[in-house]
């Protein structure tokens, strides 16, 4: 009898930046704080696209943003135009 393959649990975190590009927040960054953040995640066994999903948000230096559902926030989701 074949056993069903057990799916891995994917942990999710969100990261918000008041300014700047969210694409710079990755494990290939040269920024010391970002490198340390990802280094610690890796030390603990968390790797993006394996067992970790990271949602990135940025305010792009703006005070507020009107989302599509009418909610006013200060952050845009990665890939969303502001």
Domain housing 48: 11-77
> Does 2 have pLDDT greater than 70?
no
Is 34 in a helix, a strand, or coil? helix
Q: pTM for the whole thing?
A: 0.64
User: Is residue 5, in this structure, part of any structural domain at all?
Assistant: no
User: Is residue 53, in this structure, part of any structural domain at all?
Assistant: yes
pLDDT class of 16 with cuts at 50, 70, 90: confident
Domain count for the chain, please give it.
1
Give CA angle at 26 (23, 32), nearest 5°. 115
- Do the beta carbons of residue 16 and residue 55 sit within 8 Å? no
User: Is residue 45, in this structure, part of any structural domain at all?
Assistant: yes
User: Is residue 82, in this structure, part of any structural domain at all?
Assistant: no
Express each pLDDT in 23-74 by its tens digit: 888 899 998 999 999 999 999 999 999 999 999 888 776 655 555 665 555 5
More confidently predicted of 16 and 10: 10
What pLDDT is recorded for position 21? 78
- Do the beta carbons of residue 64 and residue 18 sit within 8 Å? no
């Amino acid at each position: 009898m074949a056993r069903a393959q057990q799916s891995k649990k994917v942990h999710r975190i969100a990261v918000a930046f008041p300014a700047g590009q969210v694409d710079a927040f990755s494990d290939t960054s040269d920024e010391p704080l970002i490198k340390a953040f990802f280094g610690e995640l890796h030390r603990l066994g968390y790797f993006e696209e394996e067992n970790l999903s990271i949602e990135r948000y940025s305010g792009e230096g703006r005070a507020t943003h009107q989302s599509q559902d009418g909610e006013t926030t200060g952050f845009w989701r990665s890939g969303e135009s502001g």
